[in-house]
Structure 1
Amino acid sequence: MKYKVVISEGEDGWYVVECPSIPGCISQGRTIEEALDNIKDAIYGCLEVIKRIEMVCSKAD
C-alpha cells in the first residue's frame, strides 16, 4: 500500500517527513532520500502498533 507523505526542510537543514494519514507518524533525515527511507520504517512501525492495538481491542470485546 502507498501512503502520501509531506516533506519540509527544518531550520536545522534536516528534512522532516510526515504521513498525514497516520497521525503522529513523522521522521527525518539529512537528505531527502534518507528522510524518505526513514519514513518508510516509521510507517511500518506505526502500522504494526495499530495492528497490535486492534488485536488487543478485539480480544477485549
Structure 2
Amino acid sequence: MRYIAFIRKDPDSVYGVDFPDMPGCISAGDTIDEAVRNAVEALSGHVRMLEADGDPVPSPRDFDAIANDPELAEDREGAMTTVVPLIRDRGSTTRINVSFDLGLLEAIDATARERGQTRSAFLASAARKEIVD
C-alpha cells in the first residue's frame, strides 16, 4: 500500500511531510530524502497506533483523486507530491526460502559480517531501502 504525501518547506525550516489520507500523520527532515525516509517510519507508526486503538486505517487514494479533490486545493498549493510506502512492522519474523546465485550470496554474507549484521538483518535492511527508494 502506498500513500500520497505532500512535502513543503518554508524559509528557515526543515522539509515537512503530511498525508492527505492519513490525518494527523506528519514528519520532517533536513533534506527531501531524509523527510521521505522519516515519513515511511511516521506512516508505519501512525498506522500501528490506529490499529492498537481499534480505529480504522484510511484507505489510500490514487494521485488523480488527490489532485482533483477540491478540499485539498489549499494543501496542494506550493507542495511537492510523493508516494510513501506503508511498511507494517508486525513484531514477528517469518522464515522463508529464497534462492540466490552463490557469488551474490557470498557477497551478501561478507557485507553483512563487515556491518556486524546477520544475513537476515542485512537482507531486510536492503529490502526496506529498495522499497523506500
TM-score normalised by length of structure 1: 0.82
Deviates more, 1:7-16 or 1:21-30: 7-16
Give the Cα–Cα distance (whole angstroms) in 2 for the partners of residues 6 and 20 of structure 1. Answer: 8
Q: Which residue of 1 is the match for residue 52 of structure 2?
A: 52
Query: What is the total number of aligned residue pairs between the two structures?
Result: 55
Secondary structure of the structure 2 residue equivalent to 1:45: helix
If you compute each CA radius of gyration, which structure gives the higher value, 1 or 2? Answer: 2
Name stretches of at least 5 consecutive residues in structure 2 with no aligned partner. Answer: 56-133
Q: Which residue of 1 is the match for residue 8 of structure 2?
A: 8
Give the Cα–Cα distance (whole angstroms) in 1 for the partners of residues 23 and 42 of structure 2. Answer: 12
Deviates more, 1:32-41 or 1:5-14: 5-14
TM-score normalised by length of structure 2: 0.39
Root-mean-square deviation (CA, aligned residues, Å) is: 1.3
Provide runs of 4+ in structure 1 moved above 3 Å: none
**In percent, how many aligned pairs have the same letter?**
36
Name stretches of at least 5 consecutive residues in structure 1 with no aligned partner. Answer: 56-61
Q: Which residue of 2 is the match for residue 59 of structure 1?
A: none
